[in-house]
Amino acid sequence: MERSNGGQNVKWALLGASTIAGQYMVSAIRAQTDGAVRWVVSGKAERARAFAQAHRIELWSTSVEEALEDQAVQAVYISTTNEKHYPLAMAAIGAGKHVLCEKPLAMDAAEAAEMVSAARSAGVTLAVNHHLRSAGSHKAIRALITSGALGRVLSLRLFHAVHLPEHLRGWRLDNPSAGGGVIMDLTVHNADTVRFLLREDPASVIAETATSGMGAGVEDSAMSVWTMPSGAMVFSHESFTHPFTESGIEVHGTQASVFARGVMAQEPLGRIELVSKQGRGEISFDAAEIYGSVIEDFQSAVARRASPAATGTDGAKSLMVARAVHDAARTGARQTINYGEIE
């Protein structure tokens, strides 16, 4: 099988004629000097054809096998509804393709573990589009923590309540078997953000969920508190129903606090302030397009046989945190997370 060496054109197949593929990922691939979109595959012929036409993609199909049989394709981007991530990733890995899968990596830990193990055995890259760790703002916050500027981290608060745009009010709000609900959509991002910033995995969680105006059969809001091995306390809030709030991250340490607003986003937006004995100051960060960074990093990881920004294991662990939040809210009992299955 031909593999990207960084100097070749990396040809992608998109599995899923989705909003995110059309809005961000096609242009993110094309922004690379060596990235090209060769296929789009959809469950519906008309949607595949229309997507291919709208985005000037050479080939379209309703057959995943047809795209995967194409030896010119090295990389696959999966952005279907969540329940299809596992079977599609397994098929792509089985065909020897490198895979960038949307979050949540799968529906449960068992599926995620199988995907990680299959990619390892096949010698292909499995990455997850936890794009926030590729944002300049998140990298800047992590650098502040790592540099010791905050002292010992006492607590971290994540605000990820949004107003779900009208055009996304479909399966997310009423289809649990497609992986709907705010926990699979946003808590999983928060989990990856906390793991990225603090470099440790939540040990246990307690949680509450609510249906506050949009969800039908799934939760549209969640709040949870996570116990970290270091002793830092984490609070995480996600919602689809909040029209006027702003996203944010606060990290409070013994020497300083970070206040970041507007940074849980798809665009490289927001602002960060550091507050300490010395006063309050703005922290600058790289405002490069986020999904472009994800693709650049993925293609470079494939070429160098190195780890991508968010590995399959990262995706599996963040999914396990989200599932634990779901179970804690459902049972009313603290959930301890055992990562043994994927380590």
Look up tokens 């540099």; give the residue. 147
Residue 43 lies near ligand NDP (rule: CB under 6 A): yes
| Phi, psi (deg, nearest 5) at residue 191 | -60, -45
Distances (CA, A) of 87 to 11, 90, 111, 126, 274: 21, 5, 9, 14, 44
* 242 vs 246: CA distance, rounded Å: 9
* 307 vs 228: CA distance, rounded Å: 25
* 18 vs 78: CA distance, rounded Å: 9
Q: How far is the CB of 157 from ligand NDP (least distance, A)?
A: 21
Pick from 38, 97, 98, 103: which binds ligand NDP (CB under 6 A)? Answer: 103
Residue 19 lies near ligand NDP (rule: CB under 6 A): yes
Q: What token pair was written down for 35?
A: 């990235």
Length of the chain: 343
First CA to last CA distance, the chain? 28
Residue 53 lies near ligand NDP (rule: CB under 6 A): no
Q: Contact letters (x/-) for ligand NDP, 183-202, by CB under 6 A?
A: --x-----------------
Map residue 241 onto helix, strand or coil. Answer: strand
Region from 15-23, 28-36, 201-209, 223-231 binding ligand NDP, contact rule CB under 6 A: 15-23
Residue 49 lies near ligand NDP (rule: CB under 6 A): no
Pick from 20, 203, 225, 283: which binds ligand NDP (CB under 6 A)? Answer: 20
Residue 16 lies near ligand NDP (rule: CB under 6 A): yes
Q: How many residues bind ligand NDP (CB under 6 A)?
A: 21
The answer, yes or no, to whether the previous bond of 104 is cis (omega within 30 of 0) is: yes
Q: What token pair was written down for 139?
A: 């990298």
Return the sign of the alpha-carbon dihedral for residues 263, 191, 234, 133.
negative
Quick one: which H or E segment has residue 189? helix 188-198
Q: How far is the CB of 251 from ligand NDP (least distance, A)?
A: 22
Region from 73-81, 146-154, 221-229, 280-288 binding ligand NDP, contact rule CB under 6 A: 73-81
Pick from 80, 247, 299, 318: which binds ligand NDP (CB under 6 A)? Answer: 80
Q: How far is the CB of 9 from ligand NDP (least distance, A)?
A: 24
Q: Contact letters (x/-) for ligand NDP, 280-309, by CB under 6 A?
A: ------------------------------
Q: What token pair was written down for 229?
A: 């091995």
Residue 131 lies near ligand NDP (rule: CB under 6 A): yes
Residue 247 lies near ligand NDP (rule: CB under 6 A): no
Q: What token pair was written down for 128?
A: 């997850």
| Phi, psi (deg, nearest 5) at residue 237 | -125, 130
Pick from 170, 213, 217, 281: which binds ligand NDP (CB under 6 A)? Answer: 170
Pick from 4, 61, 79, 241: which binds ligand NDP (CB under 6 A)? Answer: 79
**Where do contacts with ligand NDP occur on this chain (CB under 6 A)?**
16-20, 42-44, 47, 79-82, 102-103, 129, 131, 168, 170, 185, 266
